[in-house]
Structure 1
């Protein structure tokens, strides 16, 4: 049975035909299942619902992208979400994805997927704080990594005037926004999650640290 029904609502926003996208996502799923036995890439409870819980959850960012968004930086990539499904959907359209992950085995997995699927991806095997911040991405993504105040601290060095962050957040997103505003100024738009009834995608722009008194 085709797995496309779980992601078909995003097909109008994908650069490639459905059959090629499904084939690459299926290859990604097979690699993830193979590596899962030696490296915990996703929780075992969600592995059986991979297409909805991880692929569709990642691809819901597609309608939020602008045509000018070409350089992406994904923080704490882990098993590759949301960056790798996005790279698969955008394959061939000139976008490039930088994945940041400090764990060596996860880095090896991410590089294997990128190589075998011929994706426009660079994997940085380092901590976020060690990255060169001179290159300004168009979009920063992160999923299930840290609270918003911590994410703001990590993201701020990479923010340019046109940079946006698209962040998957759960039911505590309102409290996280309030806590982050104690130290940071930013504009935020909340997009209701397609896959989590209590979740949102926070679209953050104009991030800057509040001046000290």
Structure 2
């Protein structure tokens, strides 16, 4: 379990994806987030002292469930401050990451960070998810975006039976999977490395029942 800032940074640094260039990008992201959060509420203020643990490592842990080479087109829904999208793009430059965000100030922040971090593999879809053009993706992530039934209804058109979903769900993960109705799926719950009470829904969506 990742329990503090030092262990969180060390854990990320030891990832196979994390070289010196990626680590520098993540350091810049951390400092930029602290500065920007004084102008707009990107993340909860009480988490600013734990950015490596609560946001960067929390995002990077999703890579444990996505084998390299299998997630070349990654769609991050409701990315907010860029978690996990910016982190994934920094750690996997070979992966094309599209971050969906509808709030104008956050769209501007995300675009500025893509430029500042030189993330040529990252782009921002600045619109409500319902208005985004359909395109099948290899991986779909969503961090605190919507309850699972609503999320699947909104995003299933971007998915194929081969698409991998990785959905940090906090304490509700197991309950949301257990109560999910109306879908054929192969979802299971993995334990979070950054929060002992949190879970990550991982798996594939086969389609609606009926």
Structure 1 residue ranges without an equivalent (≥5)? none
Matched, 1:60 2:61: yes
Query: Within 5 Å, which residues of 2 pair with 1:17-28?
Result: 17=19, 19-28=20-29
Query: Residues 10 and 59 of structure 1 are in contact (CA less than 8 Å); yes or no, is this contact kept in structure 2?
Result: yes
Render the CA deviation track for 1:56-91: whole Å, top value 9, x for unaligned.
Answer: 100101121122210000000000011111111112
- Per the alignment, residue 110 of structure 1 pairs with 110
SS at structure 2 position matched to 1:61: helix
Render the CA deviation track for 1:161-206: whole Å, top value 9, x for unaligned.
Answer: 31011000111222211332x2222111211100111111111203
Q: Taking structure 2 as the reference length, what is the TM-score of the superposition?
A: 0.91
Query: Residues 138 and 162 of structure 2 are in contact (CA less than 8 Å); yes or no, is this contact kept in structure 1?
Result: yes
- Per the alignment, residue 177 of structure 2 pairs with 177
Query: Quick one: distance in 2 between partners of 1:80 and 1:172?
Result: 22
Render the CA deviation track for 1:31-67: whole Å, top value 9, x for unaligned.
Answer: 1112112211100111111110110100101121122
- In the alignment of these two chains, the number of paired residues is 204
Matched, 1:35 2:36: yes
SS at structure 1 position matched to 2:167: strand
Query: Quick one: distance in 2 between partners of 1:12 and 1:189?
Result: 26
Structure 2 residue ranges without an equivalent (≥5)? none
